């Protein structure tokens, strides 16, 4: 499906043109607001009806047991699950004693708009109560990107056809009843009512609640304060707030501010609500209370207008360097800006916490972070918003003690980062497709390498960056071995394709490990004094280099392609023709045992290697490999489409690349996998930028430098994107009549356009001819798994 009728096309907003109650779980994810520390799902202000209320604090979790039929050495025993913390979103409305509920009375109109430049969610509703009174309700919600602990809501009610008794109930509520979404009943039981009350206190219009998470022991605090005003249109100014009655009360799991009064048709009652959130694993109860109260006081003092102005200024600065401009496809233009907005939301104030696979938009994957973060999300942020990247990598560095302990448990040197985690400890139950996916360690190293290459951050290079590279290189050297022929082999691992597990010499893993060890050896050689502090001798670094130089990369001479891993191309082909469409994703219909022994690919694996280590393959090899793996790749993962788009564009299958771009970009807006209700697919959102910039922009950034081979999708007249490169910025403007490179910075920048090497001086631009690759027929995909065809003039149609 391409084009959901519930959303209008707009270049800078995501507007919902009508209300559909069945889509609430979907829109709650799309309209989620976050800053990387706080996450609020986009539920209705009144709290009901809802799919999943969802208030999250990055890192706040509960522990639960991991089930096994039989115990095994090294199996993780405890899982971690993100929990719903104290909810400050709710403002209930009563009109003449009738509660406002979209399911009752008459919903005359209902519109919501996510504003990507203002960073707010707006709502405008006209509702007639069951007793016949009509009111207009307007609300604006934001989570501050500048004040880490603060969220706020402005809620306004105006009677339209006569005076009305208006009552507002602003709530702060803990331990909300949630839908059961955990398959393990023991885990579900432990996640019920996870918050234990420590304190509840009230002030004039302020309420503070402090709780402890029952099993993890984390302390969470939330506070809310309010301003209440009454606006008269006739007088053009605010009346005395004393015209409204305001009361507050609290109990262990609930705080309320109640506002009531008679409001005339020419009047509007306005409630502005400020909410502060915080948590700690070590701070005392008084300290946590004071932390949220102080943050709240600062926000309340500055006021609503200051919060909104700060938000717009912050995003204005972000868009000035990160915006992608498209002429030729309004839906993709909207979708890529939505994607970039969600990426900056997920990371801006995470500040040395993980960036989960769903961000803070839902509880999918239990709120865990995977390799998605480093390989997709950080890949994009490094070029458009690098500061949060340093924080994310410092979070990985802070978990090194756990990673070293895990490596030792597995009989390895260095560090073994977890497949999935919240705190840094492995919390994925034993699973061949996850436990053996050691490539996550090279993915983290790759993110470090990219960050250093782009930013030149010397302090990070000498500190956390070097240590991450050293410890991951040690892992690879101990995990692999040199065979009698002098080849370095890495056996018994799982690559990105989870339909192939415990394989030998997965090419993606081997090539990423090779890069990891080579760069680690190079960094150690350049900074010997820092290397000595990490206990790295010259002999150890030389051993990494020798292993990298001898890395075994299998090749199938008979078929003239690279096998995904040793022997993969000798496996029996999956019966794609005999697999009905309703049996996808395959993992839900077939035993993994059958998947592991067949040629079927869940997501780009060898093709991802072609993208990430592009310099290791010739164009002819890329074409043959792409042609071989397209008919095998079923894309049962949202991580796949963007990488397939990149390589399709490079090998001359631009039409197919465009289709894959659309799939990555519209994954959540159009709910293509029917699970956006669990939270957004951050990696796919990042993938829309990757497909545009690395695919159609042809960007490659290696030790050899920065290069571009741009092309335009069919029907497009322009693609323009920007990159942050250290202290400079590069803008690449691709048009049908040429490609312009505009550079601002402190020193010259060397850039390659196709075969032409350019030396760009600060404040200059240079234009080169557009020379797209020769187009050729695209290879087929598995029956029923083709991406939806993208018409170049596609427009979302409202009905």
Q: In what helix (H) or strand (E) does residue 440 lie, and over which residues does it extend?
A: helix 439-455
- Give me 164's structure tokens: 């009305």
- What is the spatial distance between Cα 619 and Cα 621, in angstroms, rounded to a whole number? 5
Contact 140, 37 (CB under 8 A): no
Pick from 544, 722, 511, 736: nearest CA to 621 = 511
- Give me 597's structure tokens: 């022994």
Contact 601, 576 (CB under 8 A): no
Q: Beta strands of 17-88 (E only): which ranges?
A: 33-34, 38-40, 55-57, 61-65, 78-82
- What is the spatial distance between Cα 607 and Cα 586, in angstroms, rounded to a whole number? 20
Pick from 754, 767, 758, 657: nearest CA to 712 = 657
| Burial of 321 (C-beta count, 10 Å sphere; 0-12/13-18/19+) | middle
Q: Report residue 179 CA to chain centroid gap.
A: 24
Cβ within 8 Å of residue 192, ≥6 positions away: none
Please check if 371 is assigned to a binding site: yes
Q: Is 325 a catalytic residue?
A: no
- What is the spatial distance between Cα 677 and Cα 667, in angstroms, rounded to a whole number? 12
Strand-pairing partners, residue 87, are: 173
Please check if 678 is assigned to a binding site: no
Q: Is the peptide bond before 699 cis (omega within 30 degrees of 0)?
A: no
Contact 469, 523 (CB under 8 A): yes
- What is the spatial distance between Cα 61 and Cα 79, in angstroms, rounded to a whole number? 10
For the chain, the first-to-last Cα distance in angstroms comes to 16
Neighbour tally for 307: CB within 10 Å: 25
Token look-up 């304190």 returns: 199
Question: Among 426, 464, 498, 540, which one carries the catalytic annotation?
Answer: 498
- What is the spatial distance between Cα 333 and Cα 719, in angstroms, rounded to a whole number? 10
- What is the spatial distance between Cα 430 and Cα 597, in angstroms, rounded to a whole number? 20
DSSP assignments along 503-517, one per residue: BS--HHHHHHHHHHH
Please check if 602 is assigned to a binding site: yes
- What is the spatial distance between Cα 563 and Cα 565, in angstroms, rounded to a whole number? 5
| Burial of 161 (C-beta count, 10 Å sphere; 0-12/13-18/19+) | exposed
Please check if 711 is assigned to a binding site: no
Could you give the angle at the alpha carbon of 696 between the alpha carbons of 692 and 701, nearest 5°?
85
Pick from 114, 232, 223: nearest CA to 170 = 223
Pick from 406, 419, 442: nearest CA to 551 = 442
- Give me 707's structure tokens: 């290069």
Binding site members for substrate: 371-372, 602-603
Positions marked active-site: 498
Binding site members: 371-372, 602-603
């Amino acid at each position: 499906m391409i084009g959901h009728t519930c959303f209008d096309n707009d270049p800078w907003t995501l507007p919902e043109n009508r209300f559909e109650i069945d889509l609430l779980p979907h829109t709650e994810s799309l309209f989620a607001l976050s800053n990387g520390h706080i996450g609020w799902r986009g539920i209705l202000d009144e709290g009901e009806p809802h799919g999943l209320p969802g208030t999250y604090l990055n890192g706040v979790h509960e522990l639960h047991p991991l089930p096994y039929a039989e115990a095994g050495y090294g199996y993780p025993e405890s899982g971690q699950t993100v929990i719903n913390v104290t909810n400050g979103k709710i403002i209930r409305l009563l009109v003449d004693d009738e509660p406002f509920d979209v399911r009752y009375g008459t919903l005359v109109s209902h519109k919501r708009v996510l504003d990507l430049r203002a960073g707010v969610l707006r709502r405008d509703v006209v509702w007639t109560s069951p007793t016949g009174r009509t009111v207009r309700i307007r609300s604006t919600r934001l989570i501050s990107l500048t004040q880490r602990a603060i969220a706020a809501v402005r809620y306004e009610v105006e009677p339209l056809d006569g005076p009305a008794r208006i009552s507002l109930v602003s709530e702060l509520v803990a331990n909300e009843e949630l839908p059961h979404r955990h398959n393990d009943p023991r885990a579900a039981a432990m996640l019920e009512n996870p918050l234990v009350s420590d304190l509840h206190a009230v002030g004039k219009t302020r309420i503070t609640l402090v709780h402890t998470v029952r099993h993890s022991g984390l302390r969470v605090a939330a506070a809310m304060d309010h301003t209440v005003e009454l606006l008269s249109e006739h007088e053009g100014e605010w009346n005395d707030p004393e015209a409204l009655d305001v009361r507050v009360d609290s109990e262990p799991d609930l705080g309320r501010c109640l506002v009531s009064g008679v409001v005339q048709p020419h009047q509007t009652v306005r409630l502005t609500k400020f909410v502060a959130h915080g948590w700690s694993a070590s701070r005392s109860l008084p300290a946590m209370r004071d932390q949220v109260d102080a943050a709240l006081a600062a926000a309340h003092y500055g006021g609503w207008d200051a919060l909104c102005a700060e938000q717009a200024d912050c995003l204005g600065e972000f868009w000035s360097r990160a915006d992608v401009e498209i002429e030729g496809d309004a839906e993709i233009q909207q979708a890529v800006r939505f994607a970039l907005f969600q990426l900056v939301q997920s990371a801006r104030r995470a500040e040395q916490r993980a960036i989960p696979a769903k961000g803070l938009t839902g509880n999918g994957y239990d709120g865990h972070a995977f390799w998605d973060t480093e390989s997709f999300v950080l890949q994009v942020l490094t070029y458009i918003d690098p500061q949060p990247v340093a924080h994310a990598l410092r979070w990985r560095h802070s978990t090194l003690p756990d990673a070293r302990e895990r490596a030792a448990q597995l009989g390895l040197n260095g560090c073994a980062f977890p497949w999935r985690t919240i705190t840094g400890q492995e919390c994925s139950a034993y699973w061949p497709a996850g436990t053996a996916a050691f490539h996550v360690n090279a993915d983290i190293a790759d993110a470090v390498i990219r960050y250093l290459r782009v930013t030149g951050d010397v302090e990070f290079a000498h500190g956390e960056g070097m240590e991450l590279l050293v410890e991951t290189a040690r892992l690879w050297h101990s995990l692999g071995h040199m065979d009698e022929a002098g080849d370095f082999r890495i056996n018994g691992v799982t690559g990105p394709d989870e339909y192939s597990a415990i394989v030998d010499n997965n090419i993606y893993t081997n090539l990423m490990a090779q890069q990891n060890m080579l760069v680690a050896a190079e960094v150690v050689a350049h900074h010997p004094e820092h290397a000595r502090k990490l206990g790295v001798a010259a002999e150890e670094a030389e051993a990494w280099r020798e292993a990298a130089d001898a890395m075994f990369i299998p090749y199938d001479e008979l078929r003239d392609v690279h096998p995904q891993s040793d022997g993969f191309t000798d496996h029996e082909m999956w019966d794609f023709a005999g697999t009905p469409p309703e049996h996808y994703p395959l993992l839900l219909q077939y035993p993994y045992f059958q998947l592991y022994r067949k040629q079927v690919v869940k997501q780009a694996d060898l093709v991802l290697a072609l993208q990430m280590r592009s310099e290791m393959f010739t164009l002819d090899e890329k074409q043959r490999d792409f042609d071989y793996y397209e008919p095998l790749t079923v894309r049962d993962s949202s991580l796949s489409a963007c990488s397939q788009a990149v390589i399709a564009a490079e090998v001359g299958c631009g039409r197919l690349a465009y289709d894959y771009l659309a799939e990555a970009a519209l994954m959540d807006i159009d709910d293509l996998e029917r699970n956006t209700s669990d939270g957004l697919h951050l990696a796919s959102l990042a993938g829309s930028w990757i497909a545009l910039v690395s695919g159609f922009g042809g960007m490659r950034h290696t030790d050899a430098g920065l290069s571009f081979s741009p092309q335009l999708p069919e029907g497009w007249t322009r693609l323009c994107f920007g990159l942050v490169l250290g202290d400079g910025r590069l803008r690449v403007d691709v048009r049908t009549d040429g490609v312009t490179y505009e550079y601002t910075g402190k020193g010259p920048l060397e850039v390659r356009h196709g075969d032409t090497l350019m030396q760009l001086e600060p404040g200059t631009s240079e234009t080169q001819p557009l020379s797209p690759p020769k187009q050729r027929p695209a290879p087929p995909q598995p029956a029923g798994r083709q991406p939806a065809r993208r018409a170049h003039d596609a427009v979302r149609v409202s009905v």
